[in-house]
Structure 1
Amino acid sequence: MFSIDRLRALAAVATHGSIARAARALHMTPSAVSQQLAKLEREAGHPLLQPHGRSVRLTHAGRVLAGHADRLIAQLASAQADLADLGSEVLGPLRIGGVGSAVRTLLPDALAALAAEHPRLTPTVVDGEAVDLLPRLVDGELDLLLVESWTTRPLAVPEGVTLRTLIGEEVYVALSAHHPLAGRSTIDLAAHADLRALADTAWACCPPGTEPHDTLVQTLRTRGVEPDIRYLLADHLTQLALVSRNVAASLTPAMSRRPAPPDVRFLATRPALRRDIRAAWLARAQSPPVRACLSVIAAAVATAVPEVPEVPEVPDGDGEEG
């Protein structure tokens, strides 16, 4: 009979790629993890690890057993969650991470509802980008994420992470009221004249490696335009402050349009750009606090994205230039 603790150690090495990182995730010493794995190898009757540079990698037998370990651990977590649900309260810590616009728009009402419904639950929140938050989720530092996935750059997640789409929204090009295209209601990404105007515009955007940055670059680069990104700012509202002064343009999701500063115009794109906000959690760690938070966030989604009045379209004059 295999020990669940030893199977958990093997699963952690398979997930994190080294004994040291697995030890950190399990809050154990590397020596203790190595001892658990040595005992598991004797129980299995097969070598489970082999040296790989300065680290280790799983043998074929190790990968087979790690697959079974993942399923057993997930089933055990499900049993523990079911037992916890038998109690009258959802309690304990809930560590949430999210992109700033989702935190600002979805979480305040959700946290208030959690406090009212589950007063012994203790949520904490950090903001950031998916590229930084997902490793913390996998390492067990966070329980639930609110991350973004853009149509032109779908979010890739590690194995074992579950995603649920909470809300989908349109993405706009934000321009100053003094920009040459500001009188329009849409920007045609297939029109030469529109693309030339965007090529001559400086951009404010989130830092490289983030979904918004890579979406902007990919969207324009595939159409022959290299965006002039001068301002690397994680917060959409800070980007809009520059837009209002005709310093830059930005890609702005619907939920970040308010509160917009004066003199900002939001132009839809053709074809439409869209962004999904998705909840992410480890499948093997869907605890009652995570389920409770997902429930109250779902209730907050209905009022998450206010309508913004359309700007009347002004005729383009001579039309598209060849």
Structure 2
Amino acid sequence: MLDLRRLRLLCDLSRLGTIAAVAEAHTYTPSAVSQQLATLEREAGVALLRRTGRRVTFTAAGHVLVQHAGAVFAAMEHTTAALAAVGAGVSGPLRIGAFPTAVRTLLPATLVALGRDHPALELMVTELDPAEVPAALRDRRLDVGLLHDYDVVPVKPDPTLDSVPLLSEPVHLAVPNAGGLGSLADAGDEPWILATAGTLCHTVTLQVCRAAGFVPRARHHADDFATVLALVAAGQGVSVVPALAAAEPPAGVRLLPLDTHRRTRVAYRTGAAAHPAVAAFTSAIQAAADSIGKKP
């Protein structure tokens, strides 16, 4: 019988590439990970890895096991969901991961609705960058999470997760009221407020600006949209901001529409869609998104 925790370590090794990376992801020591993988090989009865010094590569059997592991994990999620569905209503812990804008705008109404309709649910919210959500779901630190991408920079789907569309929101160019800017094309010579290099927001801004024929000149770097809008209002530059983050812009900010959209999805482990708590959350947050007029 294969141990599912060890099988997950093998899949993480395939995804992350090194035992050290797997150890860091699980807060184990590399030695502990190696021991668990050696035990998994004994359980499987075949060699799964080739070891050359500190380097490991997969054998043919190792590749086969990783390819089939997704179906094993999905079957377990289906089983867990089915058992929960015959239990005593919607109850138990529900760990939610969401990016800051969604925590401020979508989650309050969602949590109120869930608390009213399903008082036995234990709701726990973690503010998290969408890039961190897939790993948190796979590691079972979250039960549901919000992911997003942009139509100009699509993110490749994660095969270990299922998701449903939540909303598609327009993206704006935020400019100071005092300036005479009327379009993105006018902003080529303006100072810009950019997100941290390497983040999705930073990449999107570069893509949008390059499509308009220029590279933005950074004056400030900020990742929180409230901070970005405050800097724009102070005349410190211009920035790209999704509509959800600019629902109530501060005085002194003007929003110019761009031909770009941010797309948000509700994600969970493959096979977990029918879990009563997951289904209840998905329904509640879709209602919250609809109520603010940001329908998919």
Question: TM (normalized to structure 2)?
Answer: 0.85
Q: Secondary structure at the match of 2:198?
A: coil
Q: Secondary structure at the match of 2:162?
A: strand
For this pair of structures, how many residues does the alignment match?
Answer: 293
Corresponding residue to 1:288 among 265, 272, 276: 276
Match of 1:179 in 2: 179
What percent identity do the matched residue pairs reach? 38
1:150-299 maps to which residues of 2 (within 5 A)? 150-181=150-181, 184=182, 187=183, 195=185, 197-269=186-258, 272-284=259-271, 286=273, 287-299=275-287
How far apart, CA to CA, are the structure 2 residues paired with 1:136 and 1:52? 31
Of 89-98 and 57-66, more deviation after overlay is shown by 89-98
1:1-322 maps to which residues of 2 (within 5 A)? 2=2, 7-19=7-19, 34=34, 37-42=37-42, 44-51=44-51, 54-181=54-181, 184=182, 187=183, 195=185, 197-269=186-258, 272-284=259-271, 286=273, 287-305=275-293
- What are the Cα deviations for residues 63-96 of structure 1, in whole angstroms up to 9, with x where unaligned? 1122223212211221121011111232232222
How far apart, CA to CA, are the structure 1 residues paired with 2:170 and 2:282? 22
Contact 1:254 1:305 in 2 (8 A): no
How far apart, CA to CA, are the structure 2 residues paired with 1:79 and 1:115? 26
Q: Secondary structure at the match of 1:302?
A: helix
- What are the Cα deviations for residues 117-173 of structure 1, in whole angstroms up to 9, with x where unaligned? 222222222223223443333333222221221111112354312232200111111
Letter in 1 for 2:207: Q
How far apart, CA to CA, are the structure 1 residues paired with 2:226 and 2:174? 11
Give the drift of 1:215.
Answer: 0.5
Give the drift of 1:8.
Answer: 4.8
Question: TM (normalized to structure 1)?
Answer: 0.79
Q: Secondary structure at the match of 1:238?
A: helix
- What are the Cα deviations for residues 237-292 of structure 1, in whole angstroms up to 9, with x where unaligned? 221112222221121211222221112211113xx111111222221555433222
Give the drift of 1:297.
Answer: 0.7
Q: Secondary structure at the match of 1:252?
A: strand
How far apart, CA to CA, are the structure 1 residues paired with 2:292 and 2:55? 46
Give the drift of 1:49.
Answer: 1.1
How far apart, CA to CA, are the structure 1 residues paired with 2:279 and 2:115? 15
Larger Rg: 1
- What are the Cα deviations for residues 21-71 of structure 1, in whole angstroms up to 9, with x where unaligned? 656777887667655544543454431111266253321111112222321
Q: Secondary structure at the match of 2:137?
A: helix
Letter in 1 for 2:214: V
Contact 1:255 1:304 in 2 (8 A): no
C-alpha spacing 1:142/1:208, structure 2 compared with 1 (3 Å): farther
How far apart, CA to CA, are the structure 1 residues paired with 2:3 and 2:125? 35
C-alpha spacing 1:8/1:148, structure 2 compared with 1 (3 Å): closer
Contact 2:2 2:43 in 1 (8 A): yes
Gaps of 5+ in 2: none
Q: Secondary structure at the match of 1:73?
A: helix
Give the drift of 1:4.
Answer: 5.1
- What are the Cα deviations for residues 185-240 of structure 1, in whole angstroms up to 9, with x where unaligned? xx2x5xxxxx3x31221122322222221111121124431101222222212211
Gaps of 5+ in 1: 190-194, 307-322
Contact 1:25 1:140 in 2 (8 A): no
Of 111-120 and 16-25, more deviation after overlay is shown by 16-25
How far apart, CA to CA, are the structure 2 residues paired with 1:257 and 1:87? 42
C-alpha spacing 1:168/1:29, structure 2 compared with 1 (3 Å): same
Q: Secondary structure at the match of 2:265?
A: strand
